[in-house]
Amino acid sequence: MKLVRFGEKGKERPGVWMGDGRILDVRALAFHIEDYNEHFFENHGLEQLKQLLADPGATYIEAAGVRLGAPIARPSKIICVGANYAAHAKEFGHEIPKEPILFSKATTAINGPNDLIVLPDGAPVVDSEAELAVVIGKKASKVCAAEARNCVAGYMVLNDVTERITQKLKGQWFCVKGFDTFCPVGPFLVTPDEVSDLGGLHVWQKFNGEVLQDGNTADMIFTVPFLIEYISQGITLLPGDVISTGTPSGIGSARDPQVLMKSGDRVEVGIDGIGVQRCEVL
Domain hosting 276: range is 78-280
Residue 195: pLDDT band by 50, 70, 90 thresholds?
Answer: very high
Does residue 62 sit in the same domain as residue 88?
no
Does residue 51 sit in the same domain as residue 90?
no
pTM for the full predicted model = 0.96
Query: Mean of the pLDDT values across residues 224-245?
Result: 98
Task: Check residue 122 and give its pLDDT.
Answer: 82
Does residue 84 sit in the same domain as residue 211?
yes
Q: Is the peptide bond before 187 cis (omega within 30 degrees of 0)?
A: yes
- At residue 196's C-alpha, the angle toward residues 51 and 160, to 5°, is 95
Does residue 172 sit in the same domain as residue 65?
no
Task: Check residue 165 and give its pLDDT.
Answer: 78
Does residue 60 sit in the same domain as residue 83?
no
What CATH number is attached to the domain comprising 210? 3.90.850.10
Residue 176: pLDDT band by 50, 70, 90 thresholds?
Answer: confident
pLDDT tens digits for range 2-19: 999 999 999 999 999 999
Query: Is the separation of the CB atoms in 246 and 82 below 8 Å?
Result: yes
Does residue 18 sit in the same domain as residue 111?
no
How many structural domains comprise the chain?
A: 2
Does residue 49 sit in the same domain as residue 113?
no
Does residue 167 sit in the same domain as residue 49?
no
The count of other CB atoms within 10 Å of the CB of residue 182 is: 25
Q: Is 87 exposed, middle or buried (0-12, 13-18, 19+ CB in 10 A)?
A: middle
